[in-house]
């Protein structure tokens, strides 16, 4: 015959409650919700994540990103892309969709030079915004031309040319 369980004493109940609390604290916090996309330009690739922020900030890995901040390769976007004209270019998808300052943005970009990386970031942000509200944002972003990947690539070098893609060797005199 199974034994009946005896009721817990006050001390045992308190210990059991503390154990439950410590287990609840050690559980991993819920991952923040985000919209992800990749953008490309020449040989550059950008992985973009737009985090929906509940409070004022969101923890991404070991870094805390505030609402409206853009972090590129663990540096603020203003430090990574210096200059006013470049800043306008990668913020264009946010401005056209009227979502500037609504998301915490984390971007990993690699390959190519600064111009190609900036184009990849712009393309990635535009594609990630489609995840937010495709019906409303697609026509706006399509009209501005930020959804189309710029297909231009560097031309390959050819054998027999003067070390460049199109340069000809100088012909000898007579």
**pLDDT tens digits, residue range 91-110?**
999 999 999 999 999 999 99
**What's the total number of domains in the chain?**
1
CB-count burial class (<10 Å; 0-12, 13-18, 19+) for 144: middle
> What's the whole-model pTM score?
0.76
158 within domain boundaries: no
Both tokens assigned to 48 = 């973009």
168 within domain boundaries: no
> How many whole angstroms separate alpha carbon 13 and alpha carbon 18?
9
Range of the domain at 131: 34-144
- The C-alpha angle 138, 44, 65, rounded to 5 degrees, equals 70
The CATH number that applies at residue 117 is 3.30.230.10
22 within domain boundaries: no
Confidence of residue 36 (pLDDT cuts 50, 70, 90): very high
| Average pLDDT estimate for 76-92 | 90
Please check whether residue 121 is in contact with residue 72, taking contact to mean a CB–CB distance below 8 angstroms.
yes
Provide the 10 A C-beta neighbour count for residue 5.
6
């Amino acid at each position: 015959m199974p034994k009946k369980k005896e009721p817990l004493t006050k001390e045992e109940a308190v210990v059991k409650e503390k154990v439950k609390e410590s287990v609840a604290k050690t559980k991993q916090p819920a991952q923040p919700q985000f919209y992800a996309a990749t953008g490309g330009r020449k040989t550059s690739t950008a992985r973009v994540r737009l985090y929906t922020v509940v409070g004022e900030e969101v923890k991404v890995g070991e870094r805390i990103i505030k609402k409206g901040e853009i972090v590129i390769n663990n540096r603020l976007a203003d430090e990574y892309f210096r200059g006013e004209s470049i800043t306008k270019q990668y913020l264009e998808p946010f401005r056209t969709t009227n979502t500037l300052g609504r998301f915490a943005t984390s971007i990993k970009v690699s390959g190519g030079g600064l111009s190609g990386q900036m184009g990849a970031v712009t393309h990635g942000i535009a594609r990630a915004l489609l995840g937010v509200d495709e019906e409303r944002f697609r026509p706006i972003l399509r009209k501005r031309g930020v959804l189309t990947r710029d297909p231009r690539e560097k031309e390959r070098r050819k054998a027999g040319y003067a070390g460049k893609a199109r340069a000809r060797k100088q012909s000898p005199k007579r």
